[in-house]
Structure formats: C-alpha cells, structure tokens
Amino acid sequence: MKSDQYEELCRLFLSSSFGVPLETILSGSIPSATRPGFPGYRHQIDLYWETGNEVAAYLHIANAKWRTSEKVDQPEVLLLKQVKQEVSAHKAIMITNTGFTAGAMAVAENSGIALHVLEPSPSLEMLLTGDRTETHSVLTSFTATSKEPPYTYRVVHRAHDGVLAAPPMQSTPVVHPSSAGPAAVTRVVTPQNVRDASGQAGQRSSAPLGVQSRGSAPFSGGGGRGSKR
C-alpha cells in the first residue's frame, strides 16, 4: 500500500466513524492565522471536515501516516499539535498503521490529540494497485460486496480520557508559634483542583476556617458582637 492509498482508507474510516458523507472529508491546504501586515501561509492537511449544527461548527483535522515498520514519533505529534493551533481546529487525529512511541503518546495525552492505529485488511491490499481515484473505486466496491470491513483499528488515545475528578478537600494544620502563651492552631484548607458547573477545572482559594486556642471556644474574626459567619 502507498501513502495516498492509505489516506483514502483513512477517509473511509473517518466517514464511517463520524457518520459524515465521504465527500465532505476533504484534502488540501488551510490558511493559517497571521498577524496584520505579515505574509500569509497555508498548511497542507491530509484530511479535514466540519461537523455542527445551527449553534456551532467544529473543524476536525487528521494526519494519515503510512509506515513500513517505524512508529510515529514525538516530533510528528508536536507538529500536528502546532498545525491544530494555527488553523484553529477543534479536534486533531493522528492515524497510522504501525503504532506510536512513548514520546508521541505523552504529547498526545497532554495536548488532546487523538491517536488511532488503522490497518488495511489483507484482502483489500491485494486489490489496491492504482492511483487515488482507482483506490476510491476499489474501496467503494469492497465495502458494498464484502462481509468483512476493509480495515481493522484500535483506539490508542481518544484525547481527554485521562481527566480525573477532583480529589476531596483536605485540611492541613498550620502551627503559629506565640510568645504570649500556648500555640494557636489554625486549620487552613489546602487548595485542590475543583470543577465548576461547566466542568472546567479551577482552583479553590485557601481560607482560614477559624482559630482555636487551648481552653477557649472557637472564634471567627471579622464580625461584631454576636455575629456569625
């Protein structure tokens, strides 16, 4: 199989996976966002398509890497990350037939890049002998007549799978020495990652819960006589 044939196989895979028409998954170049007064440039994108509704539209880009043996490495995923940012894509996917190095997976997991391993079926490879146009015809015919899919695939990383729920709040005692008497102990909330109603991670600020001295009742400052927080 050649790289352009593999690109067509990836186009079919994405069309089936996202439920979008095959002809809406395009190949070509997308202009990058540039500063006013500076020359423009474009990025060659293997596969790109849009999804959405009347509320919003989402741009997806995918890179198809056909390899003989070597795995996709870290610099290639870093480049895809940069292209995603420069064309303002919402989703980026790296697809290959061999696999990914540990460095490539680390970048993907930290940057929200999806990784997939897609391999053509042996019976399909025997039929692919022509150019991109002929490959498209072979894939269409194979899908319509064969009981087996033209590929096998596995998901290495969907992106954002590693986001965990925030740990419970914890309190840590902080002791302040005092020369006037026994030490006062203040319990201060340790900041933890939390999520707001929108699901975004944030920081809960530290705030004193109160000061208690030995032999005395709890006291909270900031209020007048009889006031409560």
pLDDT tens-digit readout, 172-218: 454 555 545 555 444 444 444 444 444 454 444 444 444 444 444 44
Instruction: Tell me the per-residue pLDDT of 78-122, one tens digit each, with 9 for 90 and over.
Output: 999 999 999 999 999 999 999 999 999 999 999 999 999 999 998
Ordered by start, the domain boundaries in the chain are 3-157, 171-212
Q: Please name which of 2, 8, 16, 3 lies closest in space to residue 137, comparing C-alpha atoms.
A: 8
Mean pLDDT along residues 10-34? 91
Which CATH number does the domain 3-157 belong to among 3.40.640.10, 3.40.1350.10, 3.40.50.2020, 3.60.15.10? 3.40.1350.10
> How much is the pTM?
0.68
**Reduced to 3 states, what is the DSSP secondary structure of residue 103?**
helix
Indicate whether 227 pLDDT > 90.
no
Residue type, 62: A
CA angle (48 as vertex; 141, 3 as ends), nearest 5: 55
Partners of residue 194 on adjacent β-strands: 202
Residue type, 227: S
Give me the pLDDT at residue 77, please: 97
CB of 201 within 8 A of CB of 193? yes
